[in-house]
A and B are shown apart, each in its own frame.
Chain A
Amino acid sequence: MKTFEEKWTAWLDGQLSGKELAEFESSLPDLAAAEAEKRDAQKLGAFLKEQLTTQAMSNEEFFSHQLHEWIARESAARHRSTSTWWTIPRLVWSGATALALFVITTVLLMSQHQPGEQSEYLTQILQSRVDPAANPNATISIFESKTDNKVTVLWTEGLQSLPADYAAK
């Protein structure tokens, strides 16, 4: 069983017919006023339909505009990111230059350490002297032991010999 509101809506939309239409119209207290209201409602419906169609068009344009703006922003961002100084060729050149500098520095540092030069990890005798008056024939030589503990030896010859008493603690 339809309510009055449902029958009214169907009548406004022109969906009632036959016996149902006749019964509904006979139930209306003022058919003329109801007909006037029906015409107004139909006018409003036609107007809204027209407006909604226009709105749909403008939405399409709006989205299109938004899409264009987004593409423009993306292009600008891509352009900005590619316009940095660190381009791929420059990165390659920078790497090659750094490597070359490293090699040159290493070679220079290595060449400063001459093969005959004493290593800084060995004890170095800078100078050595004995009293020439007391030890006129004294000689001094320096060498490194061949053993693992890298002993540096200062070897004197010709120092004056001393009696055994001097070995006392």
Chain B
Amino acid sequence: MQLRPLLLAAFLVLALSAVSADAAQAVWSGLVIAENVPQPAPIPPELTGLEQTLKDLFGYNQFEVIGQSNKTLKTGQEDWLANSKYFGLHVDARGENDSGYSLNLKLYKESDVLLETDANLSKSSPLVIKGPQVGSGQLLLVLVVKDDEQAHRRRHAEPANPITTAWQRLRRAIHNALP
């Protein structure tokens, strides 16, 4: 008879850990100028994980962030703007789903809309949009779902919860098993 409350408690811990794992997330959106220069500057920290992919895709050796926004999403219904001097990327989040966020993106050049896109931004899959040629370089729009900084720091400061770890390993295994 004492097994039932134990199971219930374990289920609650799992549910809470799963919820807390997904709760605090931010979308980093950036306007990036990619170009080839003789002495490239180091890649900005926000793009570190994408460096090789960006280099392979576009063939440039330097990526400079000219405008950015790091928006923590609480309801999944927020909107925000990443601005440079001439460009603006307006992101309108229209809800959260199982895999990420439903977004409407508009790239402005001053007041003109150059490009409009509706996308489901996955938490595990960054989005890169190739924009117009700017001088000898290329404008890129990059959107990445990241863990919120505070949640990230808290998670690293605290010892790992073995139940959460097991749960995440199970989720990862299921994800990998799916075709």
- Taken together as a complex, chains A and B put the C-alpha atoms of A162 and B118 apart, in Å, by 24
Point out the residue from B33, B56, B87, B132 that lies within 8 Å of A159, measured CB to CB: B132
Choose among A123, A128, A161 the residue that contacts B121 (Cβ–Cβ < 8 A): A123
Task: Tell whether B109 is near chain A: CB-to-CB under 8 Å.
Answer: yes
Residues of A104-138 contacting chain B, CB below 8 A = 110, 113, 115, 119-131, 134-135
Contact yes or no, B125 A164, CB < 8 A:
no
Q: Does A22 contact B (CB under 8 A)?
A: no
Chain-A contact segment, one of B1-9, B70-78, B134-142: B134-142
Nearest CB in chain B: distance from A162 CB, A:
5
**Pick from B52, B66, B115: contact of A156, CB under 8 Å:** B115
State whether A128 touches B137 (Cβ < 8 A): no
How far is B98's CA from A120's CA once the two chains are assembled, in angstroms?
Answer: 8
A163 interface hit (Cβ, 8 Å): yes
B162 at the interface (CB under 8 A from A): no
CB atoms of B130 and A154 under 8 A apart: yes
Q: How many residues of B contact A (CB 8 A)?
A: 48
A147 at the interface (CB under 8 A from B): yes
CB distance from B170 to the nearest CB of A (A): 15
Interface string of B87-125 (1 = CB under 8 A from A): 100000000001110000000010011111111111011
Question: Does B24 count as interface, using CB distance less than 8 angstroms?
Answer: no
Q: Is B129 an interface residue (CB 8 A)?
A: yes
Contacts of B133 in A (CB 8 A): 159, 161-162
Interface residues of A in 67-119 (CB under 8 A from B): 110, 113, 115, 119
CB proximity of B137 to chain A, nearest CB, Å? 6
- Assembled-state Cα–Cα distance A159/B141 (Å): 14
Partner of B114, one of A113, A159, A163: A159
Please give, as numbers and ranges, the residues of chain B lying within 8 Å of A163 by CB-CB distance: 134-135
- Closest Cβ of chain A to B167, distance in Å, is 17
B118 touches A164 (CB 8 A): no
* Given A121-B125, A131-B114, CB of A153 within 8 Å of CB of B130: yes
How far is B172's CA from A146's CA once the two chains are assembled, in angstroms? Answer: 19
- Nearest A residue to B141 by beta-carbon distance? A154
Given contacts A151-B125, A151-B127, 11 further A-B contacts (CB under 8 A): A113-B178, A115-B179, A122-B125, A147-B53, A150-B122, A153-B127, A153-B130, A156-B131, A161-B133, A162-B133, A169-B66
- Show 24 A/B contacts (Cβ-Cβ < 8 Å), sorted by A: A121-B124, A121-B125, A121-B175, A122-B125, A123-B119, A124-B120, A124-B122, A125-B127, A134-B114, A149-B53, A152-B119, A152-B125, A153-B128, A154-B119, A154-B127, A154-B129, A156-B130, A156-B132, A159-B115, A164-B137, A167-B135, A167-B139, A169-B66, A169-B67
The interface of chain B, by Cβ under 8 A from chain A, is: 33, 35, 49-50, 52-53, 56-57, 64, 66-67, 84-87, 98-100, 109, 112-122, 124-137, 139, 175, 178-179
Q: What are the 7 closest A-B residue pairs judged by CB atoms, nearest first?
A: A164-B135, A159-B132, A161-B133, A168-B85, A120-B99, A126-B118, A123-B125
Which A residues form the contact surface with B (CB < 8 A)?
Answer: 110, 113, 115, 119-131, 134-135, 144-145, 147, 149-156, 159-169
